[in-house]
Amino acid sequence: MGKTALITGITGQDGSYLAEFLIDKGYEVHGIMRRSSSFNTGRIEHLYLDEWVRDMKRQRTINLHYGDMTDSSSLVRIIQLTQPDEIYNLAAQSHVKVSFDVPEYTADADAIGTLRLLEAVRILGMEHKTRIYQASTSELFGLVQEVPQRETTPFYPRSPYSVAKQYGFWITKNYRESYDMFAVNGILFNHESERRGENFVTRKITLAAARIVQGFQDKLYMGNLNALRDWGYAKDYVECMWMMLQYERPEDFVIATGEMHTVREFCTLAFREAGIELRWEGEGLNERGIDVKTGRSLVEVDPKYFRPAEVEQLLGDPTKAKTLLGWNPRKTSFEELVRLMVKHDLRFTRKLYLRAKEEE
């Protein structure tokens, strides 16, 4: 008998890659999706077929269940029904800037949601059967106290999102220590992909570069270009989530590449990949990314993208994951990551444009 996994947040970037990864490993995969007025299954449609089609094709697919991190009863019901060996808690209101606009909801879904999940496992008496992965974040380090950041670096969260995730971190650790549960935190640094949400900085840039070079967009407006991030590839990072749950002991791990770049560098590289060489001029609010060939200003700063409190730099030290789990932090390089995102978005934006033309 293969193992059964339950993924919260299966419709998100990481959930979709993790579902693919676990299916390949022979898992029976279940996912919790929330109700939405428009389809939210775009990232997993290729894994999900209506039941009658599934029967016809006898294809291994994922099983989706309606539920919500703000609804304990749904969590209890789904865990009881699916009896998972492993739960990956990836569901969250995951946008840092948006968390300043919806702080209470963010705390409910990200902090208390984690508690609800742990309690559901305990109420069902499954605390010694089910291993739990909690999606913790480098945002916990916030106002950086030590460079690079490792498992022992003190936290200083700087947003309602990271404050909520700090609760998630500690309650996971607390349940591990109190009830002897195999519950672990992956402290993951930023990881990106072709499936990254369109309002996170990397995807916003790669989409804009693709649109601008094809003439569908004039300019890109950005927030803090000086922010430094340790960016990895989501596909490489979901493998590490699984590795943590296979490890002999429940432990928390920092997952990062150990290399950081500014948002500006990401822009320069993405535009170059799309065929535009940028030159940077001016400072602060007047900074501009100019197309070297045409002299046109393509990237400008709009303060509406600034955050009330910013995390200026994050750089992780993945030594523990490398040593104990044998995880390879540089499988996909920064340059490759930018290349594959831009390549995808050039095709993606072209397709959207052609479809819109057809419908005209």
List residues near ligand GDR by CB under 6 A: 94, 96-97, 137-139, 189-190, 199-201, 204, 222-224, 227, 229, 263, 305, 307, 310-311
| Beta carbon of residue 219, minimum distance to ligand GDR (angstroms, whole number) | 12
For residue 232, give the 3-state DSSP assignment: strand
CB 133 within 8 A of CB 241: yes
For residue 139, give the 3-state DSSP assignment: helix
Which option in ligand NDP, ligand GDR, none does residue 3 bind, with CB closer than 5 to 8 A by kind?
none
Work out whether 90 is an interface residue with ligand NDP (CB under 6 A): yes
Q: Using the minimum distance from each CB to ligand GDR, give the nearer residue, 48 or 189.
A: 189
Exactly one of 130, 137, 153, 202 is catalytic; name it: 137
Work out whether 9 is an interface residue with ligand NDP (CB under 6 A): yes
Amino acid at 189: F
Amino acid at 94: S
Other Cβ atoms less than 10 A from the Cβ of 294: the count is 9
Exactly one of 88, 161, 175, 233 is catalytic; name it: 161
| Beta carbon of residue 308, minimum distance to ligand GDR (angstroms, whole number) | 11
Q: Using the minimum distance from each CB to ligand NDP, give the nearer residue, 17 or 182.
A: 17
Count residues near ligand NDP (CB under 6 A). 26
Cis check: omega of the bond before 148, within 30 degrees of 0? yes
The span from the CA of 278 to the CA of 151, in Å, is 38
The span from the CA of 132 to the CA of 207, in Å, is 35
- Confirm whether 127 is a catalytic residue: no
Which option in ligand GDR, ligand NDP, none does residue 236 bind, with CB closer than 5 to 8 A by kind?
none
Q: Using the minimum distance from each CB to ligand NDP, give the nearer residue, 90 or 298.
A: 90
- Confirm whether 137 is a catalytic residue: yes
Q: Using the minimum distance from each CB to ligand NDP, give the nearer residue, 17 or 289.
A: 17
Q: Which of 61, 72, 94, 206 binds ligand NDP (CB under 6 A)?
A: 94
Contact positions with ligand NDP (CB under 6 A) in 183-202: 188, 190-191, 197
Q: Burial-class residue 353 by CB neighbours within 10 Å (0-12, 13-18, 19+).
A: middle
| Beta carbon of residue 276, minimum distance to ligand NDP (angstroms, whole number) | 26
Work out whether 70 is an interface residue with ligand NDP (CB under 6 A): yes
Work out whether 114 is an interface residue with ligand NDP (CB under 6 A): no
Q: Which of 5, 29, 76, 109 binds ligand NDP (CB under 6 A)?
A: 109
Exactly one of 139, 192, 194, 273 is catalytic; name it: 139
Which option in ligand GDR, ligand NDP, none does residue 227 bind, with CB closer than 5 to 8 A by kind?
ligand GDR
Q: Which of 4, 13, 268, 332 binds ligand NDP (CB under 6 A)?
A: 13
CB 138 within 8 A of CB 84: no
Query: Can you tell me which residue has the tokens 């040593």?
Result: 323
User: Residue 173: phi, psi to the nearest 5?
Assistant: -65, -40
Region of 52-60, 88-96, 303-311, 313-321 interacting with ligand NDP (CB under 6 A): 88-96
| Beta carbon of residue 32, minimum distance to ligand NDP (angstroms, whole number) | 6
For residue 147, give the 3-state DSSP assignment: coil
Q: Using the minimum distance from each CB to ligand GDR, give the nearer residue, 119 or 287.
A: 287
Q: Where are the alpha helices (DSSP H) in the chain?
A: 13-24, 51-57, 72-82, 96-101, 103-106, 113-123, 160-179, 201-213, 234-246, 263-274, 319-320, 334-359
Work out whether 34 is an interface residue with ligand NDP (CB under 6 A): yes
The span from the CA of 19 to the CA of 238, in Å, is 9
For the residues of 62-82, what is the DSSP string, one character each? -EEEE--TT-HHHHHHHHHHH
The span from the CA of 186 to the CA of 170, in Å, is 12
User: Residue 86: phi, psi to the nearest 5?
Assistant: -135, 135
- Confirm whether 268 is a catalytic residue: no
Nearest to 285 by CA among 298, 268, 302: 302
Catalytic residues: 137, 139, 161
What residues line the site for ligand NDP (CB under 6 A)? Answer: 8-9, 11-15, 32, 34, 36, 40, 68-70, 90-94, 109, 135, 137, 188, 190-191, 197
